[in-house]
Amino acid sequence: MNRLFIAYAVTLLLIAAVASANDRPTTIQGFYDSSARTRVIAHRGFSGAAPENTVAAVRAAIEIHADMVEIDVTLTSDGHIVVIHDETLDRTTNGSGEVFRYTLAELQELDAGSWFNPTFAGERIPTLDDVLTEVDGRILLNLEIKSEAVDRGIVAKVASAIQREGMIDQVVVSSFSPTALKEMHSAAPEIRTAVLYNTKFHKGQDSVEIVTDLGARVFNIKRQRLTREMLRRCREHDIPVGIYTVNKPRRMRRLVKKGIDAIFTDHPDRLLVVLSPAAATP
């Protein structure tokens, strides 16, 4: 039995130990329970194992029992919500140019998997409905609204999709755009929202004020930008803090020791191992 196989088998056992625990959340409220362990958010799906923001990446996150999957959404030229991170197609598909200039039909002709690995050839850019169907009852969802689509009416469409599928308790909506968060709070206050700390708008502001002024419930921030004062203020006001994007186990351990509520990672399998009882044993 080679060392690689043994390491892989041990990793799966450790992940299973966390996944079998009774504290895996089934609602957004449970996810942000302050007494719970650090939560595992699969960034753009399990993007370390499958092409980001695809159904394959979402399924991979579900299979390893991550607590939540994060995706990015924007609009097509004909008003459909699609799941992709960049404003352009060049990096993650065999297409080129700006996403919003294409219809849904045109986008779904593109290959969104081969760039990652030939085994994912033919993977498509999914719609939001595709992802909602995939995650419903299986994993919680962090849905990031891309700023460039806000002025084109995406917020109301996202709210309608979540309400239509009856998934208010399974989805949290985040954005770097204060306008998006304000619009969501106004259109559907029952849908929980999360601030993505944006230095353009938020630099120098109190973290609690940022969250409350936008009607949000959660404060998400890049690891390097989190200060002790931000964390202290959020804790004083029971505002959950999420940190992105952390892929090195040693950094994960430090954040877990600090009691960070949630960590976004391209490698949720690594974080599950860090959180496992076996990993905590001296």
Tell me the CATH number of domain 3-280, given options 3.40.50.300, 3.20.20.190, 3.40.50.720, 3.30.930.10.
3.20.20.190
Q: Which of 43, 185, 202, 267 is catalytic?
A: 43
Using the predicted structure, report yes or no on whether residue 75 has a pLDDT greater than 70.
yes
Give the three-state DSSP class for 160.
helix
85 is catalytic: yes
pLDDT of amino acid 279:
63
Question: Cβ neighbours of residue 112 under 8 Å, at least 6 residues apart?
Answer: 51, 53, 54, 84, 92, 93, 123, 124, 125
pLDDT of 210 above 90: yes
pTM (two decimals)? 0.92
**Stretch 214-228: mean pLDDT, rounded?**
97
pLDDT band at 219 (very low <50, low <70, confident <90, very high): very high
pLDDT digits (tens, 9 = 90+) for 239-277: 999 999 999 999 999 999 999 999 999 999 999 999 998
Cβ contacts of 160 within 8 Å, gap of 6 or more: none
**Confidence at residue 277, expressed as pLDDT on a 0 to 100 scale:** 82
Taking 50 as the threshold, does the pLDDT of residue 20 lie above it? no
pLDDT at 4: 47
Say whether 43 is catalytic: yes
* Distance (Å, whole) CA 146 – CA 196: 11
- Residues in the chain, how many? 282
* Res. 156: pLDDT tops 70: yes
Give the separation between CA 93 and CA 89, rounded to whole angstroms.
6
Q: Which of 85, 185, 202, 267 is catalytic?
A: 85
In this prediction, residue 22 carries a pLDDT of 47
Average pLDDT over residues 9-17: 52
Residues 144 and 71 sit within 8 Å (Cβ to Cβ): yes
Write out the H or E segment, with its range, that includes residue 228.
helix 228-236
- Which is more confident, 278 or 145? 145
